[in-house]
Amino acid sequence: MSITAAAPPSNDTRTPWELFGIDRLLDDDERDIAATVRKFVETRLRPNVGDWFESATLPKELAREFGELGVLGMHLQGYGCAGTNAVSYGLACLELEAGDSGFRSFVSVQGSLSMFSIYRYGSEEQKNEWLPRLATGEAIGCFGLTEPDFGSNPAGMRTRARRDGSDWVLNGTKMWITNGNLADVATVWANTDDGIRGFLVPTDTPGFTANAIHKKLSLRASVTSELVLDNVRLPASAQLPLAEGLGAPLSCLNEARFGIVFGSLGAARDSLETAIAYTQSRDVFDRPLSSYQLTQEKLANMTLELGKGILLAIHLGRIKDAEGVRPEQISLGKLNNVREALAIARECRTLLGGSGITLEYSPLRHANNLESVLTYEGTSEMHLLSIGRALTGHAAFR
């Protein structure tokens, strides 16, 4: 039986982005910001990400480069921050994660956790001391909420802050902290006699230790740490004055989760673009792999899920810019987009065959990273239950 030659490819091809007409949904500033970040990723980050992933490193000097790019706290107003809209911030996260989840994680933790906690709950003195330096990358921040035994249930945290005269003394351990070993300041959440409160802890304070977590299979181009607080003494001015109760750190997490709604799609888009290019150039039985129906079915289905995810992300961004997005709406976005991005990255790996297991191609690296993104800042299970609570009024996780 002879092999039928494939018809020549059409010159009227479209990228997944173009097929959904995404640019028509964006204004000029949003398109320009996305293009600027994408160029930075292509020229500065992509040529090095394989080596950084393999060696499990993230150069500290990238902080200043991200600052020069203008993405650190870019959605905040004043204090050296650009004050962009939510969609622009989301698109920057998407382009960064198209390079690697580690890049978006750094920017997200710096801007939406560390900086936002100070911006929203800090005193004017705290804002002036830290935000301009964090915006330029001169200083690096981290966010200490999760503990070894308390992830989905942060209300059970064992870290304690007690009064000693006018000072505070903190004891406890925080786990899975992005940027921990790079940070100059940590926002640490602790139980007090008056409930959960937030504190700004300079990392050179006696009793503060950051221990890097090694042998990771995911987010290797990212610094992940354990924070240990052993009788860390802080002045009263270290407390975030407006942070009262668990709602404060959870609001910061919602800011960061919004970035993930967009960011995860960057990993998916890059995986899909890689798979399309590979299948166009790879011949199987004397025909391009892209000419086979099973290949096109995979590419079409992945494009559909990617496009739906982008439409959802932009919609949530417009809501956030207009009247404010609700936590359960963020849950919709994170649950769907991370879940679909992970499925896309895995499927793209299959189209690459044996080549897909090397760092020469991005899909398996993205899939490994997305395994962490699926879990952190709210597991898929918790987001499912958040949506369920919104629909039924019953908190099934309690």
Cβ–Cβ < 8 Å for 45, 100: yes
What's the token pair of residue 40? 């930075």
What's the token pair of residue 297? 């079915």
Interatomic CA distance for residues 235 and 257, integer angstroms: 31
- Annotation marks residue 305 as catalytic: no
DSSP sequence for 232-297: EEE-GGGB-TT--STHHHHHHHHHHHHHHHHHHHHHHHHHHHHHHHHHHH-EETTEEGGGSHHHHH
Interatomic CA distance for residues 120 and 127, integer angstroms: 9
> Any residues with CB less than 8 A from the CB of 131 and at least 6 apart, and which?
73, 76, 79, 80, 81, 115, 118, 119
Burial, 27: exposed, middle or buried (Cβ in 10 Å; 0-12, 13-18, 19+)?
A: exposed
Cβ–Cβ < 8 Å for 374, 380: yes
Q: Which of 340, 371, 377, 381 is catalytic?
A: 377
Cβ–Cβ < 8 Å for 150, 176: no
For residue 135, how far is the Cα from the chain centroid? 17
Interatomic CA distance for residues 353 and 17, integer angstroms: 25
Interatomic CA distance for residues 177 and 189, integer angstroms: 12
Residues labelled as active-site residues: 377
